[in-house]
Amino acid sequence: MIKALKFYTGVERIMKAFTFQGIMFGVCLIVVALLTIVPAGAGPIDGFKGQQGTIRISGGTAHIPVMKEAAKRIMTENPEIQISVAGGGSGVGIKQVGEGLVDIGNSGRKPSDEETAKYGLEHFKWAIDGVGVVVNPKNPVKTLSRDQLKAIFAGNETSWRALGGQDKMINVYTRDKASGTRAVFWKKALDKGVITARANFVVSNGAMKSAIGNDPYGIGYVSVGHMDATVAPVALDGVVPTLDTVKSGAYKVARGLYSNTKGEPSGLTALFIEYLFSTEGRQIVMEKGFIPVR
Amino acid sequence: MNRENVARRLFLSAAILSASVTVLILGFMVVLALPLFKQGLFFEILSQPWLPDSSIFGIFPMIVGTASIALLSLVFGFPLSLGVSALASTFAPTRIGFLLKKTVQMMTGIPTVIYGFVGVFLLVPIVREMFGGGSGMCILAASAMLSVLIAPTMILFFSESFENVPKQHIDAVDALGGTPVQKFLYVILPGSWRGILTGVVLALGRAVGDTLIALMIAGNAVALPSSVLDSVRTLTSHIALIIAADFDSLEFKTIFACGILLYLLTTISVLVIRVLSSKTRGMP
């Protein structure tokens, strides 16, 4: 009996290890089993023709939709290539690529000079993304001044009532330190102000979206590219965070999305980064709600 | 060398390997936490709040968070488990008891992420609306969900020890005309307290060690909680959230303080179980 129980807990631990990784790193390995016919004609994806091998990508969670779409298209055309896309946050991306655990480490902030020098990183900024404040769509408060925002995140303003909402407590949601989204929001929207210790922590842009979408009294911040109908953007000092306002520069809380490699990229990694900057790559970037650069 | 000898050596080396891994893990954590010990920061870390902006990286709120979630989950889970196991092994007809136990055994195989997921979408909104104020991601929600996770462990242990009560004792009660309730209260329960305690310690160990449920529905706030409706961070969630910090930072090293604490807690609970079960075996 006791042995049986030990076995059960053992099995469960293994399962836990898997699910834990599933959540923390959001590992999405898409294997395309179909043999596809490579179409004739010169496209940016042609560089991958006849190639085989793997590309491992991790880091920034804002990047994931673009990475996944690019990976899907490349793998559909070239079944011999496997691309794995994981999350973890910008800090994880920089660290993992620096230590050679992945080929491309994504970050939603520019790696610091220290990090760049320590690991010998090359940065590739392929998109501009805004970081916008979001609330639940049911929340009537859709505009805040910067001072109000700072007061909310510092924990000094605790009720929606004073801001024109219901008489309910404000639930602040934030991201962990590894998040580039947090770094940019903290620097450019909160002017490096305090974030209350009572804030709830979530681990990715996706998790932030589902937390705010589920909490009618929540407030958080998410990549503009990730915004959809489940959350409502909040105008900051009168400017609504959208693709257009980020593009025009009217909305100031913005950052670059970077893909970093250890030293000059080569082989498949170089092809992948080239692909991000190609017409088709830029098309994907736009479709996913970001502003392509270069 | 005959076949048995080969097998014996194989098993022995497997045992040595797995045992040494456990010891190595502790050694690994202590070595990596060494800078903390050297600077005399270890005990400071255990007692201070977490204020990264002022370079104070204490894990006291996480210790309190872990303890409150784990203990409250026992408060919810213990009566529930005692009731189910009493029903399964004593009160219900054999066939229903068997079915109950099979169901509970199946529950042990459910990955915790499922519980976390159910918690986020079902329990958290209920807690939020019922008690007003707060996000609903709190000690109460996490420990309620956790009690479901640890209940099977307790139920299986409890019913096991109920069934191990000597048959003569039970027959004696029946012969004296005792009711099932009398039988349970005065014979079975007193006769199986060690098994009950073992189950509780094991369940507590699981509650302390679980990561995903707390990470997903306790809210992970770093403030010291003042009520069960406050959002807290457990030691395990803290490790999961800080793992991405800069390797060389003090912030990152606190992970090892958390790890050592968890390791010690697990070791102590295993030892307690060992002592208890060796005594049980010695009983008539």
Q: Say which CATH number the domain at B197 has.
A: 1.10.3720.10
- B134–A19 C-beta distance less than 8 A: no
Most confident range, picked from B71-80, B108-117, B209-218: B71-80
Please give, rounded to a whole number of angstroms, the shortest distance from the CA of A157 to a CA of chain B: 14
- B51–A8 C-beta distance less than 8 A: no
* Average pLDDT score over residue span B43-48: 86
pLDDT, tens digit (0-9, with 9 covering 90-100), for B149-189: 999 999 999 998 998 888 888 889 889 988 888 888 899 99
Binning pLDDT at 50, 70 and 90, where does residue B35 land? confident
Could you tell me if residue B24 is inside a domain? no
Task: Tell me what pLDDT residue A32 has.
Answer: 31
- The β-bridge partners of B97 are none
Q: A11 to chain B: which residues are within 8 Å by CB?
A: 109
Q: Which domain holds residue B61?
A: 48-282
- Does A27 score more than 90 pLDDT? no
- Does A151 score more than 70 pLDDT? yes
- B125–A16 C-beta distance less than 8 A: no
Please give, rounded to a whole number of angstroms, the shortest distance from the CA of A161 to a CA of chain B: 13
* Average pLDDT score over residue span A76-99: 90
Closest partner residue to B244 (CB to CB) among A2, A178, A199 is A178
Residue in chain A closest to B219 (alpha carbons) equals A200
User: Which residue numbers of A have CB closer than 8 Å to B's CBs?
Assistant: 1-2, 5, 8-9, 11-12, 15-16, 18-20, 22-24, 88-89, 91-92, 95, 168-169, 171, 173, 176-178, 194, 196-203, 210, 214-215, 217-218
- A197–B211 C-beta distance less than 8 A: no
Please give, rounded to a whole number of angstroms, the shortest distance from the CA of B200 to a CA of chain A: 14
pLDDT, tens digit (0-9, with 9 covering 90-100), for A96-139: 999 999 999 999 999 999 989 999 999 999 999 999 999 999 99
- Does A2 score more than 60 pLDDT? no
- A168–B132 C-beta distance less than 8 A: yes
Instruction: Provide the number of structural domains found in chain B.
Output: 1
Per-residue three-class SS string for chain B:
CCHHHHHHHHHHHHHHHHHHHHHHHHHHHHHHCHHHHHCCCHHHHHHCCEEHHHCEECCHHHHHHHHHHHHHHHHHHHHHHHHHHHHHHHHCCHHHHHHHHHHHHHHCCCCHHHHHHHHHHHHHHHHHHHHCCCCCCCHHHHHHHHHHHHHHHHHHHHHHHHHCCCHHHHHHHHHCCCCHHHHHHHHHHHHCHHHHHHHHHHHHHHHHHCCHHHHHHCECCCCCCCCCCCCECCHHHHHHHHCCCCCCCHHHHHHHHHHHHHHHHHHHHHHHHHHHHHHHHHCC
**Cα A227 to the chain's mean position, in Å?**
12
Closest partner residue to A171 (CB to CB) among B134, B245, B251 is B134
- Does A34 score more than 50 pLDDT? no
Could you tell me if residue B54 is inside a domain? yes
Could you tell me if residue B211 is inside a domain? yes
Please answer whether residues B108 and A9 qualify as being in contact, where contact means their C-beta atoms are separated by less than 8 angstroms.
yes
Binning pLDDT at 50, 70 and 90, where does residue B254 land? confident
* Residue from A161, A200, A209, A212 whose CB has the most chain B CBs within 10 Å, to mutate: A200
CA distance B206 to B167: 32
* Average pLDDT score over residue span A26-54: 54
Strand stretches in chain A, DSSP E = 28-29, 53-59, 81-88, 104-107, 121-135, 143-144, 171-175, 200-202, 218-223, 232-233, 235-236, 254-262, 291-292
Could you tell me if residue B275 is inside a domain? yes
Out of A9-18, A79-88, B28-37, B198-207, least confident range: A9-18
Closest partner residue to B244 (CB to CB) among A89, A169, A199 is A89
Q: B215 to chain A: which residues are within 8 Å by CB?
A: 23, 203
**Rounded-to-10 torsion of CA A6, A11, A13, A16:** -150
- A177–B251 C-beta distance less than 8 A: yes
**Reduced to 3 states, what is the DSSP secondary structure of residue A165?**
coil
- Does B107 score more than 70 pLDDT? yes
Please answer whether residues A59 and A93 qualify as being in contact, where contact means their C-beta atoms are separated by less than 8 angstroms.
yes
Could you tell me if residue B41 is inside a domain? no
* Average pLDDT score over residue span B116-122: 89
- Does B134 score more than 70 pLDDT? yes
Residue in chain B closest to A169 (alpha carbons) equals B133
Binning pLDDT at 50, 70 and 90, where does residue A9 land? very low
* Average pLDDT score over residue span B119-144: 87
- A218–B121 C-beta distance less than 8 A: no
Task: Tell me what pLDDT residue B52 has.
Answer: 78
Task: Tell me what pLDDT residue B279 has.
Answer: 67
Task: Tell me what pLDDT residue A280 has.
Answer: 92
Residue in chain B closest to A166 (alpha carbons) equals B133
Residue in chain A closest to B244 (alpha carbons) equals A92
* Average pLDDT score over residue span B222-239: 90
CA distance B2 to B65: 56
Residue in chain A closest to B50 (alpha carbons) equals A197
Task: Tell me what pLDDT residue A40 has.
Answer: 39
Please give, rounded to a whole number of angstroms, the shortest distance from the CA of A100 to a CA of chain B: 15
Closest partner residue to B219 (CB to CB) among A1, A9, A200 is A200
Q: Which of A49, A48, A36 is nearest to A273 (CA)?
A: A48
| Burial degree of A263 (CB within 10 A; 0-12, 13-18, 19+) | exposed
Could you tell me if residue B85 is inside a domain? yes
- B241–A201 C-beta distance less than 8 A: yes
Please give, rounded to a whole number of angstroms, the shortest distance from the CA of B255 to a CA of chain A: 14
The more confidently predicted of residues A46 and B269 is B269
* Average pLDDT score over residue span B108-137: 87
Could you tell me if residue B39 is inside a domain? no
pLDDT, tens digit (0-9, with 9 covering 90-100), for A238-262: 999 998 999 898 999 999 999 999 9
Task: Tell me what pLDDT residue B245 has.
Answer: 66
Task: Tell me what pLDDT residue B16 has.
Answer: 94
Task: Tell me what pLDDT residue B1 has.
Answer: 60
ipTM of this predicted complex?
0.74
Task: Tell me what pLDDT residue A276 has.
Answer: 93
Task: Tell me what pLDDT residue A36 has.
Answer: 36
CA distance A152 to A241: 18
Could you tell me if residue B173 is inside a domain? yes
- Does A23 score more than 60 pLDDT? no
